[in-house]
Amino acid sequence: MEQIRYTKRRCEDHERIASFLAEKRVGTVSMCDQEGKPYACPVNYVYHNGKIYIHGMGSGKKNNILRENPSVCFTVFDEFGTVTDAAPCKCDTAYLSVVLFGQAVLVEDLDEKTQALAQFLEKFTPRFFEKPLTMEFVKKYRSGFDNQTVAVYGISPDAITAKENPVDSENMFR
């Protein structure tokens, strides 16, 4: 795995990276089709048990590509603002970005799939539903659009890199 060359910007704090992945809501899954054409798609995701989970309809371009080539790059970032400097060319951006490389594997195990989807509900609609999501519901659910079951993919990272330029409170542009 190629490392970040700008070593001053590397973030190697595993707790910070895990916390960042757990709190953010949108990441970009990047993949390549069989013809080598790139495709990147912003998706809601959850970070659970060391994996990234994404979900969606059981059909469509993303599913077709992942079926043929499950290798992905998954990126999550947050931009915190502009850092000023007396010299215009030294102004910068405060940010944190995490890039994961791995395989997006269709989750077939009903228990794992249910747990992942329950994590989505807790993250995006906390305490909204009175009853917990059940495996029976997940097993029977079909999309009104294409009558497919929901597709859940798990990405176990083969490699993770993180890069940051921390917020400089004294020099942030206001």
pLDDT band at 5 (very low <50, low <70, confident <90, very high): confident
Q: What is the tens place of the pLDDT at every residue in 36-82?
A: 999 999 999 999 999 999 998 888 899 999 999 999 999 999 999 99
**Cα separations (Å) of 42 from 7, 73, 91?**
28, 12, 28
Listed in sequence order, the residues at least 6 apart from 130 whose beta carbon sits closer than 8 Å to its beta carbon are: none
Q: Which residue has the higher pLDDT, 45 or 147?
A: 45
pTM (predicted TM-score): 0.91
Residue 23, SS3 per DSSP: helix
Q: Cα 172 to the chain's mean position, in Å?
A: 28
* Predicted confidence (pLDDT) per residue in 129-145, tens digit: 999 999 999 988 877 66
Ordered by start, the domain boundaries in the chain are 7-165
Question: Higher pLDDT residue, 4 or 127?
Answer: 127
Place domain 7-165 in its CATH homologous superfamily.
Electron Transport, Fmn-binding Protein; Chain A (2.30.110.10)
Nearest to 41 by CA among 52, 32, 28: 28
